[in-house]
């Protein structure tokens, strides 16, 4: 295969706003699947649009650290550390970011971003330390898996009644499988 400039280019229009989804966000990821020239380089980038009160829900990148920069608006962000002995087990670290602020989410840790402004959207750019960082949205993975995780398992894990699990699975199953 002959290499040319197009292997390293995408007219991604990352300067254009995106329509947000049910939770009020839209992630436009540019990784090795969109730009072949990223292969083996260990980087990718994403534009994230947040509606007023929108969020990029709790998720993890199993193969990448993320550094997020707010371009417009305000974001409340946070992550939870990995399981550690008491007293610091699952410590929650958070910050309110304004335009121009930067925050780092270590690889593999559950994190989120939320736009607390009820009137204005927010925009951020995220750089990730992998050409294919992966993303696991926690609620979608747990309650919307195919086939579904047993409600007995989830009821015990979350210490709730089975009917609560059934209701949650129904919400995510409908959203993910229609």
Tens of pLDDT, residue by residue over 41-74, are: 999 999 999 999 999 999 999 999 999 999 999 9
Are 66 and 14 members of one domain?
Answer: yes
Whether residue 41 is found in the same domain as residue 112:
yes
Predicted local distance difference test score (pLDDT) of residue 84: 79
22-36, 96-110, 123-137, 164-178: the lowest-pLDDT one: 164-178
> What CATH number is attached to the domain comprising 68?
2.60.120.10
Bind-site residues for oxalate: 56, 61, 66
Length of the chain: 178
Strand 136-137 versus strand 55-60 pairing type: antiparallel
What ranges make up the beta strands (E) of the chain? 25-30, 44-50, 55-60, 66-72, 75-80, 92-97, 102-105, 111-114, 122-128, 136-137
Q: Are residues 19 and 97 in the same domain?
A: yes
Confidence of residue 144 (pLDDT cuts 50, 70, 90): very high
Residue 126 belongs to what domain range?
5-134
Binding site for Mn(2+): residue ranges? 59, 61, 66, 111
Q: Are residues 104 and 152 in the same domain?
A: no
Binding-site positions read 56, 59, 61, 66, 111
Average pLDDT, the chain: 94
pLDDT tens readout for residues 11-29: 999 999 999 999 999 999 9
What pLDDT sits at residue 177?
Answer: 57
Clarify whether residues 41 and 98 are in a common domain: yes
What is the pLDDT, as a whole number, of residue 176?
60
Question: Is the whole model's pTM more than 0.75, yes or no?
Answer: yes
Both 101 and 143 in one domain: the answer is no
User: How many domains would you assign to the chain?
Assistant: 2
């Amino acid at each position: 295969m002959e290499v040319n400039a197009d292997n390293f280019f995408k007219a991604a229009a990352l300067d254009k706003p995106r329509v947000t989804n049910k939770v009020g966000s839209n992630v436009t990821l540019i990784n090795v699947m969109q730009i072949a020239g990223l292969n083996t380089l260990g980087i990718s980038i994403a534009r994230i649009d947040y509606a007023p009160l929108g969020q990029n829900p709790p998720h993890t990148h199993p193969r990448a650290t993320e550094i997020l920069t707010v371009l417009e608006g305000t974001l409340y962000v946070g992550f939870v550390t990995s399981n550690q002995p008491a007293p610091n087990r699952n410590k929650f670290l958070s910050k309110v970011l304004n335009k121009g602020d930067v925050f780092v989410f270590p690889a593999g840790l559950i994190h989120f971003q939320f736009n607390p402004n009820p009137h204005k959207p927010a925009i951020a750019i995220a750089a990730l330390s992998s050409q294919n960082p992966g993303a696991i949205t926690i609620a979608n993975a747990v309650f919307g898996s195919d086939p579904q995780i047993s409600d007995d398992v989830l009821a015990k894990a979350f210490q709730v009644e089975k009917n609560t699990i059934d209701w949650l699975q129904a919400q995510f199953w409908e959203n993910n499988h229609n």
